[in-house]
Amino acid sequence: MRIPGLGILKGMRQTGRNFWAPKVTRQYPEERPQMPDRWRGRLDLIYDPFGEHKCEVCFQCAQVCPVEAIDMSGFDSQGNRIRYGLPEIYEERKDPNAYRRAGLPAEPMRNVARWDEAIDTAWLGGVIDGFGARPEALIGIFSAVQERYGYLPERALRLISDTMVIHWAQVFGAAGLGGFRLLPTEGHLVTVCRCAACRFAGGDALLSALSDELGIAPGETSNDGAWSLETSDEVAAGAIAPAIRIDTMIYGPLTAVQARHLVAERRKSAAAPARARTASRPS
């Protein structure tokens, strides 16, 4: 036999007791929750076994984000500063404060892409027309532009994007492929492949040998501006690993001694005309 009201009183006793009990709510801004060590709830880039970021700054995530929430910048495999986001933020990104906030050295990097590049728009339009303004022709157009200017000026990429109605990020992403340069160089460029295959085949030794030979570290340019040393993820397929590229020529497979010899030969032939800027060969 149940006494009516007893169950209600039992519940009221519970709530009444809890009225005085210590509270369990976290007072958020003052009281921060202790996140577990394995907490995955924050965005973080992951590293490959070689200790480098796995993010290749390909912007694919930013492209597919439906609400355009991703706004990112970084350095591609050649050390160029590249970015994706609203155009009005680009300028802000060059601001020293923005660098500081991003944890980068406060002075702007030497290889920030330039906006004031003069581009022969009529010529570029002709090239695009010649290729038929199809997305798959991008590579051909890029190579034409690079042949003329020695690198891919940002203005030219913009123009290609606008003319061909291809998303800017796609143009930029395609330009990140091996073989294209996004900033002008003054002298010869030696690119050492850093793909997994080349590394296993002794790419690291190759790099240190070349660095020793040229007297510069990867990513630097020699004092006279004639030689630059860079690394890239994709100089060639693994079949000729380890490979290097001198300007547009690919060599491989090489041993460290061979590579050193090759570069030394080239340096001796000397006084090679700087190929950037001045080249104005018709396409």
Partner 1 sequence: MDLLFGILRFLLATTLLLLMTIPTAFVVIQMELKVIAQMQLRYGPNRVGPWGMFQSTIHGFKFLAKEDHIPDQADRATFTLAPWMVYMAAAMSMLVMPFAPGAIAADFNIGIVYFFAVIGLSVVGLLIAGWASYNKYSLLGGLRSAAQMVSYEIPLTLSVVGVVVLGGTLNFRELIAWQQLHGWMLIWQPVGLGIFYIASLAEINRTPFDMVEADSELVAGPFTEYSGMRFGFFFFAEYVALFIMSGVMTALFFGGWLAPWPFPAQLEGFGGTLYGLLWFFLKSYMFVFVAVWLRATLPRVRVDQLMGMAWKVLLPLAMLNLLVTAGAVLVFNL
Partner 2 sequence: MADVRRPRPTAEQLGRRRTLSAPAKAGALVRLLLDRFPGLASTIWTDDDTVEVQIDGAGNVALLGDLRDDPELHFWFLADAAAVDYGVGERFEVVYHLYSDLHPAWLRVRARVDRADPHIPTITGLWEGANFHEREMYDMMGILFDGNRDLRRIFMSPDYRSFPQRRDFLLPDDAADSQAAGVNPLERPETWDLTRLEESRAPGVMAGAGDEP
Partner 3 sequence: MTSELRIPDPLELEAAEEGRLRAVAGLPPLKRGGGEYAGFESVGLPDRPPQTEREREVYTLDEGEMLVNMGPQHPSTHGVMRLVIKVRGEVVIDIDPVLGYLHRGIEKLCENATYTTVMTYVDPMDYLSAMHNEHAPAIAFEKLFGIKAPPRAEYIRALVVELNRVFSHGLMMGFLALDMGGLTPILYSFINRDDVVDMLSAISGQRMLFNFFRVGGVNFDTNDEFMSRLGTWRAGVLKTIEMSERILTDNEIFRGRTVGMGVLSGAQAIALGVTGPSLRASGVPFDVRKAHPYSIYPELEFDVITQAGGDVYSRYLQRVAELKQSIHLIDQIVDKMPHGPVQAQVPGIIRPRPGRAYAAVESPRGLYSVYAISDGGPNPYRFRMRDPSFVSLQALPKLMPGRLIADTMAVMASFDPVMGGVDK
- Under the binding rule (CB under 8 A), the answer on residue 6 touching partner 3 is yes
Q: Which does 19 bind (CB under 5 to 8 A by kind): partner 2, partner 1, partner 3, none?
A: partner 1
- Under the binding rule (CB under 8 A), the answer on residue 3 touching partner 1 is no
- Under the binding rule (CB under 8 A), the answer on residue 15 touching partner 3 is yes
In the complex with partner 3, the residue whose CB is nearer, 39 or 281, is: 39
Of 10-18, 80-88, 136-144, 228-236: span binding partner 1 (CB under 8 A): 10-18
- Under the binding rule (CB under 8 A), the answer on residue 272 touching partner 1 is no
Q: Measuring CA to CA, which residue among 282, 274, 275, 247 is closest to residue 262?
A: 247
- Under the binding rule (CB under 8 A), the answer on residue 130 touching partner 3 is no
- Under the binding rule (CB under 8 A), the answer on residue 125 touching partner 2 is no
Q: Which of 4, 29, 103, 105 binds partner 3 (CB under 8 A)?
A: 4
Q: Which of 58, 226, 250, 274 binds partner 2 (CB under 8 A)?
A: 250
- Under the binding rule (CB under 8 A), the answer on residue 138 touching partner 2 is yes
- Under the binding rule (CB under 8 A), the answer on residue 6 touching partner 1 is no
Q: Tell me how far apart the alpha carbons of residues 178 and 175 are, in angstroms, rounded to a whole number.
A: 8
Q: Tell me how far apart the alpha carbons of residues 132 and 278 are, in angstroms, rounded to a whole number.
A: 27
Of 39-47, 107-115, 140-148, 156-164: span binding partner 2 (CB under 8 A): 140-148
Residues that bind partner 2 (CB under 8 A): 131-132, 134-143, 146-147, 170, 177-180, 235-236, 245-250, 275, 279
